[in-house]
A and B are shown apart, each in its own frame.
Chain A
Amino acid sequence: MSAPAAAPSIPVTILTGYLGAGKTTLLNRILTEDHGKRYAVIVNEFGEIGIDNDLVIDTDEEVFEMNNGCICCTVRGDLIRVVENLAKRRGSFDAILVETTGVADPVPVAQTFFMDEEVRKLARLDAVVTLVDAKFFLDRLGDAPEAEDQVAFADVILLNKTDLVGPDELAEVEATLHQLNPYAKVYKTTRSAVDLDKILDRGAFDLDRVLELDPSFLDADEHDHDHVCGPDCDHDHRHHDHDHDHDHHHGHETHHDTEITSVSLRGGELNPDKILSWISEVTQTQGPDILRLKGILAFPDEPKRYVVQGIHMIVEGDLQRDWKPGEPRESRLVFIGRHLDKAALEAGFKAAAV
């Protein structure tokens, strides 16, 4: 697509999560705490935020289907409008936060930041942050399909209200989160108390960090579903080990019955034409089932890492930083979605090896 404008793009955080998970508490903290950044906050339900701030913008959610023959290309028309208007006030804010209602699908929100050129010029998606209520999450999964999607789609998960559940219940929720999305960073919190710099302006969507994962973590779906912590997990290790052991007792009985799985692919250098046309083919044919796709690819004779990401049928990629001296030139690609055919994905990925 076209080159971005010269002006630095404004980071956008999407805040999602089911009703009562603690979003309003977190929003109020972002608006009131002294963190040195001015946020333009886009909400759908103004009433919930009791703060008078001229950078809180109330919009009516308007999901538009793009008339381009792509069945999953939906965008939020109201967001395009608000972001274009915010462009006229550039300089009065540093970052944008979009709150979605509990029942909202986060996909059109995220796609808006890829599909609209004017929006892309101004803003870049930084991370999708999903709040999860430790006490009610497992119930929600049973009655609200959005809750499952919101977790599968996240870059960062705040597992909130952990004080309201016992250790067994918490471990079960954590295992389920990991099953739905092994690539998100998970922070356990009470009253949405998390350092804001852990969730804001993280560059999570840029992937430069998300895939810099501990290799054992990337292979997590080969093991028991016991790891919960994210790629740069902040928990101390003893605690981590404790969770680890604890989960073993519960084993598979904690598994949430879901169609969502993830597939992690690893290899060496890849033929750029082959891998990119394969990714394009996979997303065109299985787009509706693919929630997220993220990868870092190594191409022969290319000093830079190729970073790719996608939502449904939208795939974006570009060359980012150089491979560091001594860094293994390894290609990694992960898919999160429904009905993923792991064997077919592995075969397609391997066929692009040089």
Chain B
Amino acid sequence: MPEVTPLPLSGYVVDVRYVGGVPTFVTGDGAVALGTAGRVVRPHAGGILAATLAADGKSLVTGGDDGKVMRTTADGDSTLLAERGRKWIDVVAAGPGGAIAFASGRTVVAIDGSGKTHELERPRAALGLAFFPKGLRLAIAGYNGAGLWFPGTAAPVQELEWKGSHIAVTVSPDGASVVTSMQEMALHGWRLRDGQNMRMSGYPAKVKSMSWSVKGRYLATSGAGVSVLWPFFHKDGPMGQRPLELGGRQELVTRVACHPSEEIAALGYDDGMILLSRFADREEVLLARPNGSPVSALAWSGNGLELAFGCESGAAGLIDLTA
């Protein structure tokens, strides 16, 4: 079994990211733990609800229950990006050219790379945000579909409609498909060139984690006793194709993270176990034994040789795959 360096934390691990190459853990009680030396900064007055990595990989963007959006670098310096009074900021996204976005209730705010703020009021709450890989375009998930917005332009929001509540969104790396996760325990996708709907259902739980494999060939997902990977390399995308299933167990997969350069995925489970699984032959390697607490965060280092993980209980650590 690969070597695990435990780094226990004080609270629920909301996310983990490699910031300027440094594994950086974010906890619900407000801590940002940088690296392995136990350095902790607290950019927010209270807890942290959401985090993402800036597109250049050099800073972490966090939203808190203090109504603030903060940027924190690997050396622990924090700057205020935006402030929205008492509202909780529980959705953040980062896009190309240094753009960031966040949502609070029905309001979506995008700050472009030059620092200019653009605001959009949606008819219902914005539940998920994702930037397109190029340009300044934002997908916004919400009730009865997703909206595609070009911040800073007068163009109307393009509405992708599908009945139900869409709680998260991701855009394929080629920008051709938008996929949402639904309250009704299914994924829904739209192929943008012709508006074709894609329905991906059969999950016993909500899909809380989605990760695109290298070159966007598969979308790996949590929410079942296996990780379901939908193929996007066929002409018609995943429709009519059997998805790949990895890491079948009795326990629910709670987090997935596809490797940055190989067709391999790290799978975190409801009982804290972490498995590595290869797409080609479904070969598995045990990375962490069950610890009783759901895996809530997973991230690969840029070179794909180290995996950082965190759990709801605050259990966290680094797994060295060169060993």
Q: Which residues of A contact B (CB under 8 A)?
A: 2, 6, 46, 54, 57-60, 62, 64, 66-68, 75, 77-78, 80-82, 85, 87-92, 116-118
Contact = CB atoms under 8 A, between A and B. Distances in A.
Contacts of A87: 12, 28, 312
Contacts of A67: 163-165, 182, 184
A76 to B, nearest CB: 11
Contact of B11 (A62, A80, A91): A91
Contact of B183 (A58, A77, A85, A89): A77
B206 A85 contact: no
A58 B127 contact: no
Interface residues of B, number: 33
B29 A92 contact: yes
Contacts of B134: none
Given A60-B105, A90-B12, A85 B125 contact: no
Contacts of A91: 11, 29
Interface of B: 11-12, 14, 28-29, 45-49, 65-66, 86-88, 90, 105-106, 124-125, 127, 143, 163-165, 182-184, 204-206, 292, 312
Interface centre among A2, A57, A75, A89 (most CB of B within 10 A): A89
A77 B12 contact: no
Contacts of A68: 184
A54 B28 CA distance: 14
B165 A88 contact: no
Interface centre among A75, A77, A78, A87 (most CB of B within 10 A): A77
Contacts of A64: 143, 165, 183
A36 B89 CA distance: 29
Contacts of A78: 105, 125
A136 to B, nearest CB: 31
A278 to B, nearest CB: 28
Contacts of A90: 12, 28
A62 B124 contact: yes
A58 B28 contact: no
A327 B118 CA distance: 67
B125 A77 contact: yes
A313 B165 CA distance: 20
A85 B11 CA distance: 13
B124 A57 contact: no
28 contacts: A2-B204, A6-B292, A54-B66, A57-B65, A58-B87, A60-B105, A60-B106, A62-B124, A62-B125, A62-B143, A64-B183, A66-B164, A66-B183, A67-B163, A67-B182, A67-B184, A77-B127, A81-B90, A82-B88, A87-B12, A87-B28, A88-B47, A88-B49, A89-B28, A89-B29, A90-B28, A91-B29, A92-B29
A60 B164 CA distance: 18
A60 B106 CA distance: 8
A59 B105 contact: yes
A81 B206 contact: no
Contacts of B66: 54
The 7 closest A-B pairs by CB, nearest first: A88-B28, A67-B164, A88-B12, A64-B165, A60-B105, A89-B47, A67-B163
A134 to B, nearest CB: 34
B16 to A, nearest CB: 14
A291 to B, nearest CB: 24
Given A77-B143, A88-B47, A90-B28, 10 more contacts: A6-B292, A46-B86, A54-B65, A58-B86, A58-B87, A75-B183, A81-B90, A89-B12, A90-B12, A117-B205
